[in-house]
Structure 1
């Protein structure tokens, strides 16, 4: 039975672990608090306590068991308790520890924020030019990870995640003003994100891979948030009129490569309620 370890059983990592276990994998994961570990164990999943620091002692048998796997999945947000500045070092340390313990492959959940704001259709071959600290941290983590290990790595650049308790109508209730009205929406439902990562884990690949995971629906932010507001009878969002009138190209991130390389198809809609 193939063993998969997931560092970070959070909003994406936990449903991924549940799916993989149902699919017949030997799955275990980690949480950063004792309370979190107990909550995960109550769901019938194997979970270890792991504070994401650079001190990954393999003298702890539970930690060694966590990293002794066939595939390690690292799904930690860059703005977690470890902080942006340490993020790349932590990701690299996790990967090196797994390689030392015999892991054959690593999957890292990244973000399309590494591309910044570009004027053309963005593919996995596009240049990366982040425009914020979070994007910088994610790109640095990608580079540190690839430099740290010799085993195959799959980088999964996720679009804006939504679903369940994270819905655009909720965002509109908390926020009234929005920037970049002519920029395209690049989103993916959590279910699609989980299924995409699972498809990669089940696939046969032996070299570095990069995949954008973004559903093929790209209205402008102006179009999207206005439709959501109307559909849910909410006040219309406010955009800067000067920005709205400025002619800009509505580029988007192409997430189709993964559908050609693996038996995976997007199921979610960006307008799902």
Structure 2
């Protein structure tokens, strides 16, 4: 494998492109706005403008799909009817993957595909998401994984932390008290990048992986400390119970022989405060 195309060079996709360049790959990256093309070119990433809509694809050059692997890193937007809009976008993408005979796809999904049933969730669970974004991802995962023209690995990340994302701000605007003992399912950007690199290096295709810190502190533990470090007022918490899920990443750890840099999101806060 020599050439990798990253669909969506945003918060995750851009540093991933930089890392893959350092690893010796030829990297192509796409963005939706022309203003970001210069930044990518300056970093050594071959830049493309690619906009996927339910009824059409705007692409500056189809050589984006002349590649050994397409990494799809475009989360569903927070808009009405996203459960139908996003899968329609993925259908448009699939037509290009088939046309250009792309052999492999890595789809960045989310643990929002699981609903909250007060226990652990694994890759073998039936997916019955409650949120529209989760429903959109389930349909999109199916469209990619069931296509026999290419091999797809699906990576379900928890909530993303690290880099310039201040976790204290995630809940700072909440006006009502939240259940404090609800476990969090988070993952640091550094681990995201290393997990993707491991999948590529080991050529692990046709799989589905959960990817979250193995340790799950409570919401109150994590966000109170994050707020203290940042000097931001902590959100209000209550002892009232609410439905929860604990995302199990055991399959990823064993299959990839992967050791998390941040086993707990509390470890990241310790680094951030030093």
TM, length-normalised to structure 1:
0.87
Determine whether 1:7 maps to 2:7: yes
Structure 1 position 67, deviation (Å): 0.6
TM-aligned CA distance change 1:142 to 1:81, over 3 Å:
same
Higher strand share: 2
In structure 1, C-alpha distance between the alignment counterparts of 2:255 and 2:246, rounded to whole Å: 20
SS of alignment partner, residue 187 of structure 2:
strand
Correspondence 1:108-147 to 2 at 5 A: 108-147=107-146
Match of 2:71 among 67, 70, 73: 73
SS of alignment partner, residue 145 of structure 2:
helix
Q: CA RMSD in A?
A: 2.4
Determine whether 1:158 maps to 2:153: no
| Unaligned 5+ runs, structure 1 | none
Contact 1:199–1:263 under 8 Å retained in 2: no
Determine the structure 2 residue equivalent to 1:267.
261
In structure 2, C-alpha distance between the alignment counterparts of 1:171 and 1:251, rounded to whole Å: 18
Determine the structure 2 residue equivalent to 1:50.
50
TM-aligned CA distance change 1:202 to 1:80, over 3 Å:
farther
Contact 2:168–2:234 under 8 Å retained in 1: no
- Per-residue CA deviations over 1:163-187 (Å, capped at 9, x if unaligned) read 1221222335444545343321000
- Per-residue CA deviations over 1:53-105 (Å, capped at 9, x if unaligned) read 24347xx7x63211111111111010078972321121232133123212111
Contact 1:5–1:72 under 8 Å retained in 2: yes
TM-aligned CA distance change 1:143 to 1:81, over 3 Å:
same
TM-aligned CA distance change 1:211 to 1:48, over 3 Å:
same
Contact 1:218–1:252 under 8 Å retained in 2: yes
SS of alignment partner, residue 51 of structure 2:
coil
Higher mean C-alpha displacement, 31-40 vs 10-19: 31-40
Correspondence 1:1-273 to 2 at 5 A: 2-53=2-53, 54-56=55-57, 63-79=61-77, 84=82, 85-175=84-174, 177-206=176-205, 208-239=206-237, 241=238, 244-246=239-241, 251-268=245-262, 269-271=264-266, 272=268, 273=272
SS of alignment partner, residue 52 of structure 2:
coil
Contact 1:72–1:103 under 8 Å retained in 2: yes
Number of positions where the alignment pairs a residue of Structure 1 with one of Structure 2: 265
